[in-house]
Amino acid sequence: MSLAASGQASPFSETTVRWTEFALAVGGFGIGTGEFAIMGLLPNVAEDYAVSVPEAGHVISSYALGVVVGAPIITVIAARLSRRVLLLFLMGLFALGNLASALAPSFGTLLALRFFSGLPHGAYFGVASLVAAMMAGPDKRARAVGRVMLGLTIATLFGTPLATWFGQSVGWRAAFVTVGLIGALTVALIYRFVPADQPDKEASPLRELGALRNREVWLTLGVGAIGFGGMFTVFSYIAPILINVTGMPAAIIPFVLCVFGIGMILGNIIGSRLSDWALLPTIGGLLIWNAFVLMLFTFTAPYPFAALLSVLFVGTNFALVPALQTRLMDVAAEAQTLAAALNHSAFNIANALGAWLGGLAIAAGLGWTSTGWVGALLALGGLAVFGLSLWLGRSDSEPLEPLAREA
């Protein structure tokens, strides 16, 4: 039983908890750097393999597909492993996949290796979040999840730009070597600092699959897949929007991306604190905030300073990540590992959905800023799913009680 479920205080010292969170966050930093750095290296990959840049972009899709597929498969197969052993396996797999990607002799091989590298992504974040939350205690779960996710957000601010610069200077393969070495470092840190735990004797693949029969799990995943997609609707096209609408020079775009990264870090910190204070109101409030800032972006995009501020606000939408991760811990019962891993599959679906719908709006001639409206609608769609979840939950638990009290 988890500490959150039992209501017990954490038996771990503050020092042990902090070093564990640091080790897990380094893994998040490596995963975030590896996932996003390739976006700035697509021209280099295309030139090396003599393919077009859009074709080279398939390596991004291949990785994302690996994330979506790997999260449920790995967590179900590895249900009987202890979480520490599973974390070591997942990060070892990630390190191996990235080091092998650097040696890919052909474009087809690179596609396969990027898919392989994406397999442990969702499961790692899911299991790492559960370990951090369990060690922190019931009243600090979301903040513990947020500190693990801090590695991912810092990667957008520092890791990705540095890896992109390094890859452009030395060669794109060097960027994958760097990410692979970060993965290997994480294996060592997890081995050193994450306390050993015993496998759950009652765990089984069938019990983990029980999460798929849980309506609340599906609805929470739906909130992430739809509501979080709004951020990607704008972010996927941020460079052409700022160049064509705001009139910013292309050389400024990396600085703007850093501003976006700062917004993600702020959202992660604030969102996790609010979630520990009042989880359900925080999720609802964040979805409303997301819709507001995405709509605001459509009006501020033509004005450089206002657009920059809006980009910061759009980045704060990341606050949903620790909130939804914590919500899944509450609704997944005995199948928390699979549910937590599926959360990151949902976020990758949000990425694909947001980019696709934003592209449809632009292709339909609605203009670059229409992505803000589409994103706001997705945020409101996530809010509707969240409202349905609350309504169904209340209907199941107290169907007639309010009427009885009135009578």
Residues 221-264: pLDDT tens digits?
Answer: 999 999 998 888 888 788 788 888 989 887 787 788 788 889 99
Q: What is the mean pLDDT of residues 266-282?
A: 91
Look at residues 382, 371, 383, 378 and name the one whose alpha carbon lies nearest to residue 297: 371
Distance CA 124, CA 71 (A): 8
Angle subtended at Cα 231 by Cα 144 and Cα 162, rounded to the nearest 5 degrees: 70
Cα 43 to Cα 54, 116, 168, 229, 303: the distances in Å are: 9, 22, 9, 26, 30
Determine the Cα–Cα distance for residues 45 and 53; give it in Å rounded to an integer: 8
Closest C-alpha among 407, 238, 220, 255 to residue 332? 220
Q: Kindly report the backbone phi and psi dihedral angles of residue 6, in degrees, each rounded to the nearest multiple of 5, phi listed first.
A: -85, -15
CATH number, domain 211-395 = 1.20.1250.20
Q: Cβ distance 314 to 297 under 8 Å?
A: yes
Whether 327 contacts 405, CB under 8 Å: no
Please give the average per-residue pLDDT across 54-82, as a whole number: 83
Contact 30, 179 (CB under 8 A): yes
Q: How far is it, in rounded angstroms, from Cα 100 to Cα 332?
A: 35
pLDDT score of 300: 94
Distance (Å) of CA 262 to CA 95, 198, 268, 274 = 27, 38, 10, 18
Class of domain 10-203: mainly alpha
278 by Cβ neighbours in 10 Å (0-12 / 13-18 / 19+) ranks as exposed
pLDDT at residue 203 above 70?
Answer: no
Distance of CA 91 to the CA centre of its chain: 16
Contact 101, 113 (CB under 8 A): yes
Direct distance between the N- and C-terminal alpha carbons of the chain, in angstroms, rounded to an integer: 40
Is the pLDDT confidence value at 68 over 90?
A: no
Q: Is the pTM of this model over 0.75?
A: yes
For residue 385, name the pLDDT band (cuts at 50, 70, 90): very high
Alpha helices by DSSP H, 223-335: 229-235, 238-241, 253-277, 279-300, 304-315, 320-331
Q: Where are the domains of the chain?
A: 10-203, 211-395
Q: How confident is the model at residue 5 (pLDDT cuts 50, 70, 90)?
A: very low
Residue pair 254/381 in contact (Cβ under 8 Å)? The answer is: no
Range from 18-27, 100-109, 155-164, 300-309 carrying the lowest mean pLDDT: 155-164
What percentage of residues in the chain have a pLDDT greater than 70?
91
Residue 405 has pLDDT above 50, yes or no: no
Most confident of 67-76, 87-96, 330-339: 87-96
Tell me what the pLDDT averaged over the chain comes to.
85
Is residue 21 within 8 A of residue 141, CB to CB? The reply is: no
CB neighbourhood size of 373 (10 A): 19
Distances (CA, A) of 32 to 8, 28, 48, 86, 142: 33, 6, 24, 19, 20
pLDDT band per the 50, 70, 90 thresholds, residue 402: very low
Q: Which two tokens stand for residue 287?
A: 């979805």
Residues 113 and 117: their CA atoms lie apart, in Å, by: 6
Q: Which residues contact 11 (CB under 8 A, 6 or more apart)?
A: none
| Dihedral sign from CA coordinates of 271, 276, 281, 283 | positive
